[in-house]
């Protein structure tokens, strides 16, 4: 009877250790996947902001041509 209790306690100890390891592995995998999602979101945001910057720079360069047009128009119409 006493030998049976010792074996049962030993089984519960190993079961507890195994569950602890399983939980820690699950937590580590969760953190890993969350970090990957954050990195992907950062890369996509940086790419989108780069496109926005590129298009704004194109627009601002066109504004320079528009300012030249306005100056020329004022010279022609003298106002």
79/65 Cα distance (integer angstroms): 19
pTM of full prediction above 0.85: no
Share of the chain above pLDDT 90, in %: 51
- Name the residue range of residue 11's domain: 1-79
Place of tokens 């100890």: 13
Total domains in the fold of the chain: 1
In this prediction, residues 62-74 reach a mean pLDDT of: 81
Share of the chain above pLDDT 70, in %: 91
Better pLDDT: 26 or 59: 26
What value, to the nearest 5°, has the Cα angle with vertex 45 and ends 43 and 47? 70
Report residue 76: phi and psi, to 5°: -70, -50
In this predicted structure, the answer to whether residue 70 has a pLDDT above a threshold of 90 is no
């Amino acid at each position: 009877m006493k030998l049976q209790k010792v074996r049962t306690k030993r089984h519960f100890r190993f079961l507890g250790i195994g569950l602890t390891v399983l939980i820690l592995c699950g937590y580590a995998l969760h953190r890993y996947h969350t970090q990957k999602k954050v990195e992907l979101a950062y890369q996509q945001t940086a790419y989108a902001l780069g496109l926005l910057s590129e298009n704004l720079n194109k627009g601002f360069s066109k504004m320079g041509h528009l300012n030249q047009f306005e100056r020329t128009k004022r010279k022609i119409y003298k106002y």
